[in-house]
Structure 1
Amino acid sequence: MNNGGTEINITGGKLIGGTESGGNAIYHPQLGTLNISGGELSGYDGIQFKSGSLKLLGGTITATGAKVTPVANDNGAVGTGAALSLITSSAYIGSMDVVIAGTAKLEATGTGASAVYEGIHETGDTSSASELKKFAVSSGTLISSGDALSFTSEGIEEVITITGGIYSSDPTEYVAEGYEVVPVGDMWQVQKTQPVGPVTPVIEPIAPVLPDVSDDVKEEVKPVVGATETDTAEAAAKLDGITEDMLEIDKDEIVAVKADTVVKVVENIATLENVTSADVLPLPVFTAKVESKKTVMISFSLAGADLKAAKPEDVKVLKVLGADSGRLFKYASDITADMDEKFTIQKVDGTIFKGAIEGSETYILSIFIKDGGAFDLDEADGSVADPVAILATKTVEPHHSSSSGCNAGFAGLLLLAAVSFIYRRKR
């Protein structure tokens, strides 16, 4: 019945739908499971779901058409212009549950269209309530020219749980208790409610946004939401060269490298000025799954003041490699296929930021580590683990000894004086 029991898994590639209203990249009326973790799906409408279970954990779903007034269709697609439309129809009686997480991106580019649209559109009177039984968003990006979220059925708020994500319009009415919406530039980000008072917001990995890049970059660079660690022993076990005594549980109950450890590392890097613990902002230790030998992209949302620099190219991001060793990530002004051991600063919409950093503004720090590369401390194939810290310091020229021939200076004057003295003695 209803062609149930199907399972569809999409991990990459491109799927292109129609150019007219109702032209979906995917039309899913059956009681089956649809899992999407990568790839690019596009059409006038993106995905239309009428029943089953949908998990969007990655990939980009784009609707290119303008918003249209839905017309009931019990035997085919209902045009909406949305990247994801959830339609109750009498011909397809089956519950829907939807989970959006990871790096999933839904975008409706047409005039007035929504990233997500929900509605009841049927020709008969067999149902009067939406069949959407669960709609949960924990991360991801939802962008549209109209409302990012458009739910039209009565009482639908009871099945919606939003605890994360970045939106192009304010999703406050659908946000779960204990969470809040924070304006970030011209976008809105959902996060845990912060206590009243001068408390620093939780710093943790967010869904990376890969800007408009070439296919060869997409093939190499893989945006992933890093998983934070909560146990120092378990974290140390994944990090080659890092011991448990170098880590601690921070104020947000997440594992981070100790500031004192970072200070000791900096003392052994000749090209950096000495720093104190107050000059260090440790970022959470994270792990990330990625295709073997590919470069993972991990992002953090930070206030400009946390970057501890006036310009993106002056930001110092330190990779801790051991108790007394570490190296700086290199700044990249653009994202290319060769991003291993580099970082960049982005706006909240994912575009590269190259201006003056404002302390009160929010920016995205994205770091890039290749699986199996020198900065990957997790020896397991397809898994990257990392302790990173931001430094308030300057790069200095390394000192040269007089024997190098590069610095005569005062030593050179002493040598001339000695030669003159010997010459007088001989006379």
Structure 2
Amino acid sequence: MKMRKLRKYGIIFLVLLMALMCAPMAMAATEIGQNNIGDLFKTAGDYILSEDIALNANTKAIELSKDFTVTLDLNGHVVSSDTSVYKTTDSTKYPASIIYATSGDMTIKDSQGGGKLLDVSTAAYSSNNDGVIRVKNGAKLTVEKAIIEVKNGIGITTYDDGTRVTFKDGEINVEYGFGIATNGTNITEPGSGIYVEGGKITVASADSAAIYHPSSGTLSISGGELSAADGIQVKAGTVMISGGTITASGDHKVPANGVFSGGGTNELGNALSLISHKSYKGASMDVTISGSATLISEQTNAIETYISSGGVDHVKSFKVIGGIYSTDPSDYVKTPYVVKQGADMMYTVTLAGVAVDPSSVELVLGLKNTAQLKASSDIDKEFSWESSDPKVVTVEGGSITAVSAGTAIVTATGDVSGSKGVCKVSVRDTDDVVVTPAKLELNVGDSGKVTATCDKADTFTWESSDPSIATVSSDGTVKAVKAGIAVVTAKGGVNSAGCVVSVTDPAKPDPVPTPAPVVVGTVDKEDNPVNTESGKPENVEATESSVLGATDENKRYTAEKIGFKATDLVANAEGDLTVSPVVAKSAVESVMSDDSTVAPENITTLPLVEAQVEKSKNVAAIALMLMGEDLGAKNGSVVADINLVKVFANGTGAKFGYAAVASEYGDKMFTLKNLDGKSLASTDKVNPDEVYTLVVFVADNGDFDLDDTLGNVVDPIAIATNKAKPAPTPHSSSSGCNAGFAGLLLLAAVPFIYRRKR
């Protein structure tokens, strides 16, 4: 066992050792000091200064002449030299530079801060203009962070031969000369690039520029701060300025004879000047200013173009599509871009925008279906309109129309600018009107009070279905006039809700109670307890139903479909459409006259619902959820006390039979289930404070389906509940038709768990 463990650990050790041997090892940077400065850039790799370095006529420039990738970390130290003495020996071999790259890829950084390349020469510019760093022959230079200083000369000199210089951070400080300059001799060789991404370039004296670009290639300014007498002077190449701040402080001195210098800068004082000169024949300028670039001239125009006398315009393209300026750049701005002056007196160039007023709007179906949007723009006169969801809202010429509840974005697009303005449109259903109380009982001559709430965008008025029985004033005061039943309704712009007013003459009390409306929950098809029940007839189909809201449209639609007068359909207190209590009471009385066992203590009306069957002439199993008290149950009530009555348009009624088992389900039947989905027997108790599922069975196009449309069932029903008797011994089953039920229920189809309203 020990040998096996040793062998195991030995194998693990060998695997780890091999992994370490194969893993790439981070090589330490080579330290460079005064004594081994000649080793710098002799091989590829990383170098770090260990002390300050002073170059002299013997050490000459630090040169990268091979195709190596190298990094120099100044490490907080200074490399200094008087580069003007180099030319006295061999100006070709030893340029007046501290670093000279003719090949490879060089990165200069400073991990400690304060690291500097310092040219201490005090010679005139003409003897010291090769650049503190000189890059040519396609070499690459990246300055991640460093300070570059020279009194009279150039910070970085680059050539138009594929050379690329990227200045990310740090400082270039020049007294007289240029921060960065391109040699313009080989103007026909494109490919070089200067990319300023950050840092500071400062040139202090007059007749100087932060960047001088007289040759082809690319100049890109995306960040940083450039400051000089002239910001940037361009005579050729592609220029892209998208960020940073360029500040020019010099005087504006245009030559009187119109002849500009062809071999150097001109004292113009612009943040950006484009100079076309015959010395650069054939060279073109493609210039774009965009984004957040800021160009400031303290003495003259921020940007300007010039053509030297006798020359031709070399500006092929000048696009000012963004930026911030100290003077108005409108002469260079073309449609669809515009210039706007801010409170700070600066000028900003932006794409002409499109604004939509209002920027957001709410539409309410039935109350506020339309609105007018207005688009505006600095240059656009015509706009095209579009809705992100035409199923929610449509738009034509800025006029929006609500289609259904939801949210959509309406967009206006300018015909010239192509800019877009938007409005967020929210469409919602109208909130229901709700009346309190649902039922009001008054003696003749008495008064009562009803209140109502409605949608915040709606108003309502009160009206009575029969002012000869009960009147209602604008503040909801109800006055009982004579015995009978009336419905006082709060009528809104879309929805309505009502209170059943029962007026009694104490001298002549009515033995039949006034029907009271209740609210039910709806059940979708999947949750309908009949859906998965075994043993039911094949033609019995669980349905999905929706409560009909008490809108004028629903009232007209439903009355026409089921043959009722529109006045016989009213709103209950929750804004649902239900059968008039007058018609409901009449239907109950007609059943009572034919069946002495029906002697209701109370009558309940349910909302009208609409259900669909997938197969025409099937028996729809319409399920709704309600409390026992809404079934009229009181302590001691049993299923047999509940009578379900079909209400017909002529005021007559017919009773449903009861089915306690699935095999008895069929047309003109109903069953009552507990929350477990079990049908109750006729002798089972119905408790007022428990929830039940009432399932009504109506054959499509049968006698109880008043809607003659195939596949559609609308079935007004009433519940009349007899007074509770002492409960008999519970029984587990019942027959299909039981003439002893004594409760009346008015309903149309209702789905379960939630209230689905149409």
Task: State the TM bucket, normalised to the shorter chain.
Answer: 0.3 to 0.5
| TM-score, normalisation: structure 1 | 0.42
| TM-score, normalisation: structure 2 | 0.24
Say which structure is richer in helix. Answer: 1
**Which structure has the larger Rg?**
2
Instruction: Tell me: higher relative CO, structure 1 or 2? Use CA pairs within 8 A at least 6 residues apart.
Output: 1
